[in-house]
Copies of this chain bind each other. A is one copy, B any other.
Amino acid sequence: MALVLDNSVLDAILAQVRPLLGQGKVANYIPALAEVPASKLGIAICTVDGGCFTSGDALERFSIQSISKVLSLVLAMDRYEGDEIWRRVGKDPSGQPFNSLVQLELEQGIPRNPFINAGALVVCDMLQSRLSAPRQRMLEFVRMLSGVSDISYDARVARSEFEHSARNAAIAYLMKSFGNFDNDVIGVLQNYFHYCALKMSCLELAKTFLFLANQGRLPDGDRPVISPLQTRQINALMATSGLYENAGEFAWRVGMPGKSGVGGGIVAIVPHEMSIAVWSPELDGAGNSLAGIAVLEILAQNIGRSIF
């Protein structure tokens, strides 16, 4: 089916979804997130042939939070060979809330996948072991992917996350007790929270993640970010574990690999065609953007795109 996309198509979808605003709950575990206006709603789409479309608050930056877990994994897959990563973290859905310690204890400190907190912390621990300046490296990476040179961390968010880091500290120490955490917990948490505190707009996110729709390549570049096989693998992880314990529901409704963050952002991929980023700060019970999922569901139907 030929793709017909323009900004007015996106405007119409946002208008259709806007009545849902008010049904979710903005993340409030730190003040910096709680202050974000609940009514924000934006979408951006970038296609592999170079088009970009936006609607709503698509140019306003927000805290990407767990969406960064995909980026840190990509960085780690660049620095580690073969199964080095996968001996320390699994690839399967957890079936548990993203910050649970129950499964982690029963499974001896090996997180189910890199997109729950425990898994992302292991990935950050691995980056810490191999990168001299993990925070600077991430900034360079995101700026390179997006082509936007002033993307940076929201220092206030990072600080605030760190002040409320007890749960993640518990997760990291539990893994350390099983021998699956090498570096100083505080140091790794600092990096982890900075990654979560990346401030990006929907448009910048769509640009950044376009390589996952383009077999691992930047749209205009020769150099692959990752290989086509790695691209499929990361999309597979996003499809099965990208939306916390609602990966199945998301696949059912939207039918695209995706990754959400508690800042209300979701990125989704139509392989070989486009990357999509939506933003609406109100979350559903599982911690995913309530209106954001609805936008993606309608979009998928309207443009007739689904991996299934």
Residues of A within 8 A of B (CB): 90-96, 100-103, 105-106, 112-113, 166-167, 169-174, 176-177, 181, 185, 229, 231-233, 235-237, 239-241, 245-249, 251-252, 255, 257, 271, 301, 306-308
Contact partner of A232 among B173, B271, B306, CB < 8 A?
B306
B240 x A255 contact (CB < 8 A): no
Q: Is there an interface contact between A248 and B101, defined as CB atoms closer than 8 Å?
A: no
Contacts of A249 in B (CB 8 A): 90-92
B170 touches A166 (CB 8 A): no
Quick check: A91 and B252 within 8 Å, CB to CB? yes
Q: How far is the CB of A172 from chain B (nearest CB, A)?
A: 8
Shortest C-beta distance, A271 to chain B (Å), equals 6
Label chain A's interface by main secondary structure.
helix
For the complex, give the distance between the alpha carbons of A227 and B111 in Å.
38
Q: What's the least CB distance linking A141 to chain B, in Å?
A: 22
Q: Could you tell me if B271 and A252 are in contact, using CB atoms closer than 8 angstroms? A: no
Is the pair A112, B92 in contact by a Cβ cutoff of 8 Å?
Answer: no
Do A92 and B91 touch (CB < 8 A)? no
Q: Which one of B100, B235, B306 contacts A308 once the chains associate, using CB atoms below 8 Å?
A: B235
Picked from B102, B167, B246, the residue with its CB within 8 Å of the CB of A92 is B246
Distance between A269 CB and nearest chain B CB, rounded to angstroms: 8
Q: How far is the CB of A279 from chain B (nearest CB, A)?
A: 24
Complex CA–CA separation, A96 to B171 (angstroms): 19
Query: Residues of B contacting A174 with CB < 8 Å?
Result: 101, 166-167, 170
B residues near A93, Cβ cutoff 8 Å? 92-93, 95, 240, 245, 247-248
CB distance from A223 to the nearest CB of B (A): 21
**Interchain CB contact under 8 A, A271 and B236:** no
- In whole angstroms, how far apart are the Cα atoms of A102 and B231 in the complex? 35
Using A92-B95, A93-B248 as known contacts, list a sample of 7 further A-B pairs with CB atoms less than 8 Å apart, ordered by residue number in A: A91-B248, A101-B105, A166-B177, A166-B181, A236-B248, A240-B247, A307-B308
Q: Give the residues in chain B near A245, CB-CB below 8 Å.
A: 92-93, 95
| Complex CA–CA separation, A170 to B92 (angstroms) | 24
- B170 adjacent to A177 (CB under 8 Å): yes
> B248, A90: Cβ atoms under 8 Å?
yes
The minimal Cβ–Cβ distance linking A234 to chain B, given in whole angstroms, is 8
A251 vs B91: C-alpha distance in the bound complex, in angstroms?
9
**Bound state CA distance, A151 and B252, in angstroms?**
31
CB-based contact B232/A308 at 8 Å: yes
With A105-B102, A113-B248, A237-B252 already in contact, the answer to whether A173 and B177 are too (CB < 8 A) is no
Whole-angstrom CA separation of A255 from B301 in the bound complex: 22
Ordered nearest first, which 5 A-B pairs have the shortest CB separation? A95-B95, A93-B93, A235-B308, A92-B248, A170-B173
User: Which one of B91, B167, B176, B229 contacts A177 once the chains associate, using CB atoms below 8 Å?
Assistant: B167
Can you name the residue of chain B whose Cβ is closest to the Cβ of A95? B95
Q: How far is the CA of A102 from the CA of B108 in the complex (A)?
A: 12
CA gap between A127 and B106 in the complex, in Å: 32
Please tell me if the beta carbons of A102 and B106 are within 8 angstroms of each other in the complex: yes
